[in-house]
Structures are given as structure tokens and as C-alpha cells.
Amino acid sequence: MLDLRPLTDVSRLLLTVPLRPVQGDRFQPTGFPSLGAATYQTKDGLELLVESAQSMANRLEAACWDFAKNTPVDALGGISHVTVTRKGAFLTDSMLEAHRINSPYLLEGKDRGFFDNLKKELGGLEEGPIDRKKLAEVLLKYDVGSLIHGVFLAKKDLAGGRLRVARALSSFIDASGVNVAASGGVKNDHVNPSGDTKSGFGNVPFARDEYVAERIDCHFNLDLAQIRGYGLGEKVERLLIVLALYKMRKLLDGDLRLRTACDLEPIDRTRLVATRPAGYELPALNELETAVKSSIAECKGVMVHTTVTFEDELKKAKDAKKAADAGQSAGGEDDETADEDN
């Protein structure tokens, strides 16, 4: 059995993993509308956000999803999640949705079964302090990832839109000692070089900013105190911790190709040692696969796989502003959002 005793008396697991580009020195960081690359000044010089906490939450979930089968990877068979189908075919899943079970494909469709069950099981939380244990039990039943990556049930019909859980596992990638690697190119039209560029014709020159860095680090923060605070018992507590460790290792052992021009890898993935608790080493993937399978089996009675249908018309937003406003109203500081530039 995987030994978790080194984590017993600590409130956080903090791990920093040095990364490098798979080839060359240049990489493309995440970008934000009207901002571009997120550079910032510190006492040690110019630093750069390579990948945000929101995007890393998405990537940690994606590392656990089999896109060929549209199911969780084999090691996670039996975990709770909600699948959405349309016209008899797979549409999406709570593990893929930016807001997990707060997704409109789960809560806004004509199929009200899941929403009604959720409302019923969360009954009694409309007034007074939130019963955190009750909320955690419902989230565990339907979408265990919500207890790791956080969720914000923003609908007023669900306890007045007050139900939220912060991320227990957060991550981001930053770079220090950075400099711009400026380049550019041109989209060539060999048929009509002077054609109307607004319609996609003609030669179109463009500038491109990539970066080089003295150091690139992937940071993980697992809030063990929050997981214990759910009050779900020793078996579920172990499941959540092992599942979080599995996600970290699965991501690091896989491809960190964040964008076309941002393909990274750990400098040394054989020995990943935490700064807190000092000396704790992230177990190997095969150890974690065995441990997570065992924990899922022990907790199978409190988790379900739910299927929801979404047969509504897929309407387009009338204009970009309304779409942006909808995204802001659905968001929150504790909920996961989609990658900013993917």
C-alpha cells in the first residue's frame, strides 16, 4: 500500500518541477486578450506567466481522460463524473467542462433529471451557514473532481448560488530571467500576392514574440488541510490525496505540449521532490495507478457515473459582448475557466 504517512502532519504539499523546452530554447507563453504575454517585474527581475492556474486545472483533468474512448483513463474507472450525450452520441463530460458540474450542458438543458436530483440532495442549504460536509458528500457522489479542482454552483436555484469549493490542487508554470525572442513571417499567396487581405487573399506579414528563459518551473500546491476539512472519512480522504498525486504525476509523465510552440518536459522526472514536506518524493506512476484503483474500489459505494442528455438547440450568441458578459457572470475566483488562448 502506498505510504502517505509523510503527509499526515502537514497542511500543504508544495512541489516545484524545473522544466525545459523539448527542442531549442524558445517557447510561446499563454496570452490574454488586450494584454498579450503576462510579464511582471519582481525583485529578481522580469518574470513571465507561462501557464495559468485555470489552464493547468484543465490540463490536469485532460491528462486523466481517454479522448479515443471518451471515458476516464483505465486507472480511474469507477470515479464519479457526469457524461452528456446528444442524439445518442457523446457530447461532453464534467471532466472536460470548464466549470465541471456547473456546465450549462448539465444544468440548462431540457433534461432536468440531474438538476432536480442535485437540487433535492442539496436541499436545506438555502439559508444559514453552508453545511460543508453535506456539500462535499454530494460533490463526491456526482463529480469527485470538483473536490480537487473546485467548483462554483452559480445558479440561484441551488442554495441561492452560494455553493462553492476552492481548488484543493492548484498549479501554474512561470519563467524567470526571461527575454523576448522576436521573429515573424508572412502568409504567402503565390496566386495573388496583392489580393484583398480582408478576404483571406494576398501576402500577410506578421510579427511573433516568443521567449527564452533562464529557468522555467511548474508549481503544484495540494491543500491537504482542505481535503481533511471535508470530513468525509479516512477512505475518501485517501482517495482524494492519491487521486491528486496521480493527476500530478500523470501530467508530468505525459506530454507538456501546451501550444504548438510551447513543448516542455521536466529536466528530471525520475526524482520529483517536494519543498514541503521537505524530502517527500512524488511516487512513480505505476505505484499511484495501483493505489488509486484500490481507493476507488473502497469508495465505489459513494460515487456514481451519471448520464445526462442535451437535445437543446445549440444557439449562437447574438454578439461578442453578450458572450463575454455571460462568461463573466458564470465565473468566479474559485472556479475553473477555459484556457485563455486555446
SS3 305: strand
CA 239-243-249 angle, to 5 degrees, is 150
Distance between CA atoms of residues 151 and 99, nearest Å = 7
Q: What is Dmax (Cα atoms) for the chain?
A: 69
Contact status, residue 339 vs residue 30, Cβ threshold 8 Å: yes
User: CB–CB of 291/2 below 8 Å?
Assistant: yes
Could you tell me if 32 and 311 are in contact, meaning their C-beta atoms sit under 8 angstroms apart? no
Least confident interval from 91-100, 116-125, 142-151: 116-125
Please state, in angstroms and as integers, the Cα–Cα distance from residue 56 to each residue in 100, 220, 334, following that order: 14, 10, 14
User: Is residue 340 pLDDT above 50, yes or no?
Assistant: no
Q: Tell me: pLDDT of 319 over 60.
A: no
User: Nine-digit cell at 207?
Assistant: 510579427
Query: How far apart are alpha carbons 240 and 139 in whole angstroms?
Result: 12
159-186 pLDDT, tens per residue? 888 899 999 999 999 999 999 998 888 8
Rounded CA-CA distance 277/12 in Å is: 8
Q: Which of 138-147, 177-186, 262-271 has the lowest mean pLDDT?
A: 177-186
Report pTM: 0.88
pLDDT at 126: 76
| 208/329 Cα distance (integer angstroms) | 33
